[in-house]
Amino acid sequence: MEFRHEVKHLINSSDRIALRQRLRAVMQPDPHAIGGRYKIRSLYFDTPEDRALWEKLDGVNNREKFRIRYYNGDLSFICLEKKSKRSNLGSKDGALLTPEEAQAIVDGRLAWMIDSDKPLVQELYAKMVNESLRPKTIVDYTREPFIYPAGGVRVTIDYDIRSGLGCTDFLNPDCLTVPVTDAVLLEVKWDAYLPDCVKAAVALENRGGGAFSKYAACRIYG
């Protein structure tokens, strides 16, 4: 599992407009974005005692979380992901799921997972059985992504963050989500180094790196 640098900055809507112009000047738009953006829907998992939530809020350095995610309402590409954090380093492991497999996980029909040829599915199975890991809430948001091939740099701006509350029917496009914050999140990720032109583009006065979790924000109502 390879780790990369990850830094988050909590910004506002005015910052977002300014950054968009700067980033377009020095970076490429993500080729998967439509009109420069895409919608993300994630279903996050947690234990009955909310371990993933509290580890994030308490600033635990070594932690992980599981989620299932798809983009722009497209159910032909659903990905199970495990996000691992080690201080300011992060890594992500993924495995594709069919809609039927994703729904089976949500419904608690788990027996098929033990025979999966995907190690991450087997790992999720073990944690659902041994640690009672279960789907907890939907997180919806809009993302504007930019890439810079040198250094493996990726910059994203996330906003319109919405919560599915207790709803875990995340394959249903009519599942109700509600706004939980007007925060805008700038995230900068890179492998070997962060080029000076990107560093200058994302620099904002009085905006230091900080901790912000879309999942934690979407758990505000429980």
Where are any strands of DSSP class E within the chain? Answer: 4-11, 28-29, 38-46, 62-71, 74-86, 89-97, 134-148, 153-163, 178-179, 184-190
What the block records as the tokens of 10 is 């909590």
Whether residue 144 contacts residue 33, with contact meaning beta carbons closer than 8 Å, is answered with: yes
208 has a pLDDT exceeding 90: no
153 has a pLDDT exceeding 90: yes
Q: What pLDDT score was predicted for residue 210?
A: 63
pLDDT 10s digits, 98-129: 999 999 999 999 999 999 999 999 999 999 99
Q: What pLDDT score was predicted for residue 94?
A: 97
Whether residue 139 contacts residue 158, with contact meaning beta carbons closer than 8 Å, is answered with: no
The superfamily in CATH containing domain 4-218 is: VTC, catalytic tunnel domain (3.20.100.30)
d(CA 217, CA 222): 10
222 has a pLDDT exceeding 70: no
pLDDT 10s digits, 48-69: 999 999 999 888 989 999 999 9
Average pLDDT of span 19-39? 93
Q: What pLDDT score was predicted for residue 121?
A: 98
166 has a pLDDT exceeding 90: no
d(CA 120, CA 169): 22
Q: What residue ranges do the domains of the chain occupy? A: 4-218
